[in-house]
Amino acid sequence: MNLKGRDFLKLMDYTPEEITYLIDLAADLKEKKKRGIRHDSLAGKNIALIFEKTSTRTRCSFEVAAHDLGMHVTYLDPSGSQIGKKESIADTARVLGRMFDGIEYRGFGQEIVEELAKYADVPVWNGLTNEFHPTQMLADMLTIREHLGRLEGVRLVYMGDARYNMGNSLMVTCAKLGMDFVACTNRTYFPADELVEYCRKTAKETGGSITLTEELAEGLKDADVVYTDVWVSMGEPDEAWKERLGDLMPYQVNKKAMELAKPEAIFMHCLPAFHDLKTKIGREVYEKFGYDELEVTNEVFESGQSVVFDEAENRMHTIKAVMLATLGEQTEGE
């Protein structure tokens, strides 16, 4: 397996074997880190992290992973560069490509990260766009494998806004890896037809399946994984809350929903999550609309079925695998 020089923009660009290789490599790197075995084989390299939207997990994962691999990091915050305002993506890509060995980009449209990759001569990694969140996928798959012991045949049910980055990415990933993906939500929030068609075609080859349903009992039946994400994503207007609460509250992941899944099902969320009133936005929504828990209840979030913090930790190990595979020699995890 040789991924050196490749961009990591969306999982549609990767074969099932390549995705599995990255998950295996991440597991290997996690083991090394736990045992205190040094793995700084990328010493002397430099990477740039461009964030046009805020982040806790993705930024910290890239930074810690880069440091563990021996690399230096430059962080450009949402207001800290000329990108898009005074300088085009193409020009920025050609400048940064001369200085850095790899570039991470988090921002808005997928076309921006694709353009960056087109013009930069170094690997570009997508740290989240409106459409896709591919590094999150590797962390999620590693987490599922650690908890359930397998990926093939796992039934993953996504509740909430299934037409945005998380729903889209999970559907693609499940299709690629022979898993059963279910979007269980209001039909307005089903993923776009074109992407569903691509995923159904892919799933046919891998033994997976794609189901879209509004029925909770049908959707959650036999679920191994129940997954949700925020109902209003970064970059969307605050005005969207009213409509989302009306449309998606029936699809809140609460105890009743979890009881429709397999008893041993796990709960997952990419985080950050609105499960209590300890956030500014959570409080604002409460004051305006009276809901104190949104996409997931605190009970489920804090339950033994919840694996959200394993998932968060795995962001670091999997992002490390992506950087090592695309920048380094292929010596690890083979």
Report, as residue numbers or ranges, the catalytic residues. Answer: 106, 133, 136, 229, 270, 315
Can residue 137 be called a binding residue for ligand NVA (CB under 6 A)?
no
Can residue 229 be called a binding residue for ligand NVA (CB under 6 A)?
yes
- With CB under 6 A as the contact rule, the residue among 57, 176, 244, 275 that binds ligand CP is 57
- With CB under 6 A as the contact rule, the residue among 270, 285, 294, 308 that binds ligand NVA is 270
Count of beta carbons in the 10 Å neighbourhood of residue 109: 12
Can residue 234 be called a binding residue for ligand NVA (CB under 6 A)?
yes
What are the tokens at 231? 């109902």
Output the smallest distance, CB 157 to ligand NVA, in A: 17
- Chain centroid offset of residue 268 CA: 11
- Chain centroid offset of residue 182 CA: 17
Can residue 92 be called a binding residue for ligand CP (CB under 6 A)?
no
Does 134 sit behind a cis peptide bond, omega within 30 degrees of 0 on the bond before it? no
Output the smallest distance, CB 58 to ligand CP, in A: 3
Please work out the total of residues on this chain that contact ligand NVA, with binding judged by CB under 6 A. 9
The runs of H, that is alpha helices, within the chain are: 16-35, 57-68, 89-99, 110-119, 134-148, 165-176, 193-206, 216-220, 240-248, 255-260, 280-289, 298-301, 308-327
| Cβ-contact 121, 97 below 8 angstroms | yes
Can residue 19 be called a binding residue for ligand NVA (CB under 6 A)?
no
Q: Select from ligand NVA, ligand CP, none the partner in contact with residue 22, using the beta carbon and a kind-dependent cut-off of 5 to 8 Å.
A: none
- With CB under 6 A as the contact rule, the residue among 136, 202, 297, 314 that binds ligand CP is 136
What is the Cα–Cα distance from 10 to 267, expressed in whole angstroms?
A: 24
Residues forming the site for ligand CP (CB under 6 A): 55-58, 128, 136, 270-271
Query: What does the binding site for ligand NVA look like in residue numbers (CB under 6 A)?
Result: 128, 164-166, 229-230, 233-234, 270
